[in-house]
Amino acid sequence: MTRVTLDTVRALDSDDPLAGFRERFVLPDGVIYLDGNSLGALPKAVPERVSAMLHEEWGRHLIGGWLKDGWMEKPLVLGDRLARLVGAAAGEVAVVDTTSINVFKLLSAALAMRPERTVILSNAENFPTDLYMAQGLIRQLGAGHELRLVPETEIEDAIDDTVAVVMLTETNFKTGAVFDMGAVTRAAHAAGALTLWDLAHSAGAFPVDLNGTAADFAVGCSYKYLNAGPGGPAWMFVARRHQEAAHQPLTGWLGHDRPFNFDLEYRPADGIRRHVCSSPGVLGLVAFEAALDLMLEADMTAIRAKSVALGDLFIQLVEQECDDAGFRLISPRAAGLTPPWIRGSQVSFAHPDGYGIVQALIARGVVGDFRDPDVMRFGFAPLYQRYEDVWHAIARLRAVLDGGEHLAEVYRERASVT
């Protein structure tokens, strides 16, 4: 492979069709931010939109804002907009609650739709909150259900007629490996099981086609690749064909068919609305709205192409500049421009001193993150990263290693958020 130089990466930047998006984000000087997979960067439109909501909507309209400014309908209005990004139709997505809570709601709904089956099938590499929510739900339901975990490579073979729902995170949070959503969904349906996909590291990172793959249920968050800000509202998808039958247990007043009748008896609203529980968190929703509108201006195919190119460049430069350092690539080397995607929008390397290396890089302005036991993660967000950023990140990595900066005493203790 030909050596990459600073000129090579500058040429890539000058040909980049997405280059114009970078100036629409707030990025601190000198920082190379490779952690958009954990918390996306701040779009400049977000503070503007939130400020307008506070001053022009809340400040002037007071309670009238629920109708006049569309606050009440925002979970469904934004759901329809987000649907375009994830291959869903209008009326199939709501922006509500948190990812974990939506897992609980939809897992409950799915189990109730397969009453003769007892198994939630997932993989041992799944993001723990999904597994914890399943464990809590099983406890709540009393005896009878089981969370069965198998290695991710064995999922399809493990789907049998005891499985009610296959619950998977499409993109592995540590390695970035991506399940073949179409193939797993087909295998689940062939065995009579339902699917619940967690798209936390997928939506906004590469094209998602929920209806094209015949997915049943899905959840995802807004603050990673969708840039809605810390703790931004999550979203959920229920395929139209299941909307009559799917009932979730958190039956709050805003999922009622007629909330302002104040009836004593719960009666679910039609469609996706029954999955809303409470008054929407409007500040978080308008922040998400501004971030989502920006994302929708970009072409997802172009985002994917640049994401793959940034990841490939990162791998190539680590191997070119740091081949003596003992990094082990744990992400798939391949990445598809069409499904199967194979690798998401991150690259992870394992290294025994991974924690210290990530911390020393942060001290030098290169922000990635670390996951136990030895995983260094670097995320690619094509709307605000340049190819040249990858070049400088690896140059600073080389400098960290040359100076032994990662071996400093301060990095022996781990911080509470890594």
Ligand X SMILES: *Cc1c(COP(=O)(O)O)cnc(C)c1O
Contacts of 164 (CB under 8 A, 6+ apart): 110, 111, 113, 114, 117, 118, 119, 120, 193, 194
Contact region with ligand X (CB under 6 A), list: 20-28, 76-84, 95-103, 267-275: 95-103
| Structure token digits, residue 334 | 């391949």
- Smallest distance, ligand X to C-beta of residue 34, A: 16
Report in angstroms how near the CB of residue 404 gets to ligand X at its nearest: 33
Tell whether residue 353 is a contact of ligand X (CB under 6 A): no
CA separation, residue 153 to residues 120, 289, 309, 370 (Å): 17, 37, 26, 24
Instruction: Give me the least distance between CB of 132 and ligand X, in Å please.
Output: 10
How is 304-367 classified by DSSP, letter by letter? HHHHHHHHHHHHHHHHHH-TTS--EE-S-S---SSS---B-SEEEEE-TTHHHHHHHHHHTTEE
Pick the catalytic residue: 69, 80, 97, 198?
198
| Member of 21, 92, 95, 100 binding ligand X (CB under 6 A) | 100
Among 104, 127, 179, 327, binds ligand X (CB under 6 A): 127
Q: Is 61 annotated as a binding residue?
A: no
Site string for ligand X, 190-219 (x = CB under 6 A): --------x-xx------------------
Q: Report whether 201 belongs to an annotated binding site.
A: yes
Both structure tokens of 296:
């929708």
Hey, how many other C-beta atoms are within 10 angstroms of the C-beta on 89? 14
Residue 220 Cβ vs ligand X, minimum distance, rounded to whole Å: 8
When asked if residue 35 is in the footprint of ligand X (CB under 6 A), the reply is: no
Cα torsion at 255, 256, 257, 259 (round to 10°)? -110
Q: Which tokens in the block code for residue 220?
A: 């995802």
- Residue 223 assigned as binding residue: yes
Instruction: Check 49, 224, 343, 371 and give the catalytic one.
Output: 224
- Provide CB contacts within 8 A for 335, sequence distance 6+: 308, 311, 312, 341, 342, 343
343 is catalytic: no
Give the nearest distance from C-beta 107 to ligand X in angstroms: 13
Is position 121 an interface residue for ligand X (rule: CB under 6 A)? Answer: no
351 binds ligand X (CB under 6 A): no
Nearer residue to ligand X within complex by CB, 98 or 316: 98
Question: Is 129 labeled as ligand-binding?
Answer: yes
Q: For the chain, how far is it from start to end, CA to CA, in angstroms? A: 35
| Distances, alpha carbon 395 to alpha carbons 31, 59, 199, 320, 389, in Å | 14, 49, 33, 11, 10
Based on the shown chain and the rule CB under 6 A, indicate whether residue 99 belongs to the binding site for ligand X. yes
Residue of 377, 380, 384, 411 marked catalytic: 377
Contacting residue, 98, 118, 162, 418, with ligand X by CB under 6 A: 98
Do 201 and 40 contact (CB within 8 A), yes or no? Answer: no
Query: How far apart are alpha carbons 195 and 316 in whole angstroms?
Result: 36
Q: Which residues are annotated as a binding site?
A: 99-100, 127-130, 169, 198, 201, 223, 253
Q: Which residues form the interface with ligand X (CB under 6 A)?
A: 98-100, 127, 129-130, 169, 173, 198, 200-201, 221, 234
Catalytic residues: 127, 198, 223-224, 377
